[in-house]
């Protein structure tokens, strides 16, 4: 079997592969409903897979969001990164990094100005994410999670200075943010 890892925006033919991947990468958390809802939402989502031969080994989702500034939506195109999953047995081999980097490049080329993530700063800082206290997350976070709310600017000098991230329906679930 090929050991080459391919990154692509094609979904695996068998949707059970995605389910298996998330159950393996997140044994204590059920993210399958969120991922299925995101994948069903079409154009709003950039879904990237990592495959090794025929096998799905990683997946990352970037969701198109908005920023509400004083009850108006800014015309900046922004995205939310997550979830990201790599098979436990293949972690720490750069697969997650390639998925994220590839997504950031595509979003930059598409004119997105900023990407947000709620995740471990030790990991996401590798890609240039920094804590964001200017744009609030869609649901209030416990104070100890605030450093985990981060963003990365994709276009020079083109980011919104204040506001709230607005998210599509699959992300409108407070339990995903608490």
Ligand X SMILES: CC(C)(COP(=O)(O)OP(=O)(O)OC[C@H]1O[C@@H](n2cnc3c(N)ncnc32)[C@H](O)[C@@H]1OP(=O)(O)O)[C@@H](O)C(=O)NCCC(=O)NCCS
Residues in contact with ligand X by the rule CB under 6 A: 25-26, 82-86, 91-97, 119-120, 122-123
Cβ-count burial of 163 within 10 angstroms (0-12 exposed, 13-18 middle, 19+ buried)?
A: buried
Residue 4 vs 92, nearer CB to ligand X: 92
R_g (Cα) of the chain, nearest Å: 16
In degrees, rounded to 5, the angle at the alpha carbon of residue 176 between the alpha carbons of residues 55 and 81 is: 55
Tell me the β-bridge partners of 8.
Answer: 49
- Least distance to ligand X, CB of residue 70, Å: 31
- Least distance to ligand X, CB of residue 160, Å: 24
Residue 61 vs 160, nearer CB to ligand X: 61
- Least distance to ligand X, CB of residue 5, Å: 10
Residue 59 vs 76, nearer CB to ligand X: 59
- Least distance to ligand X, CB of residue 75, Å: 28
Residue 82 vs 163, nearer CB to ligand X: 82
- Cβ-proximal residue to ligand X, closest one: 96
Between CA 67 and CA 122 the distance in angstroms is: 26
Cβ-count burial of 25 within 10 angstroms (0-12 exposed, 13-18 middle, 19+ buried)?
A: buried
């Amino acid at each position: 079997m090929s050991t080459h890892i391919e990154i692509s925006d094609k979904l695996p033919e068998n949707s059970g592969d995605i389910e298996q991947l998330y159950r393996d990468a997140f044994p204590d958390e059920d993210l399958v409903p969120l991922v299925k809802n995101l994948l069903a939402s079409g154009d709003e989502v950039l879904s990237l897979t990592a495959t090794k031969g025929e096998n799905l080994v990683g997946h990352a989702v970037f969701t198109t969001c908005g920023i509400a500034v004083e009850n108006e939506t800014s015309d900046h195109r922004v995205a939310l990164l997550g979830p990201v999953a790599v098979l436990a047995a293949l972690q720490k081999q750069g697969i997650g990094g390639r998925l994220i980097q590839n997504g950031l490049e595509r979003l930059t080329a598409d004119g997105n100005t900023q990407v947000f993530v709620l995740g471990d700063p030790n990991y996401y800082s590798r890609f240039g994410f920094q804590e964001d206290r200017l744009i609030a997350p869609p649901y209030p976070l416990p104070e100890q999670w605030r450093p985990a709310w981060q963003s990365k600017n994709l276009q020079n000098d083109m980011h919104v200075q204040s506001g709230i991230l607005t998210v599509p329906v699959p992300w409108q679930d407070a339990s995903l943010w608490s």
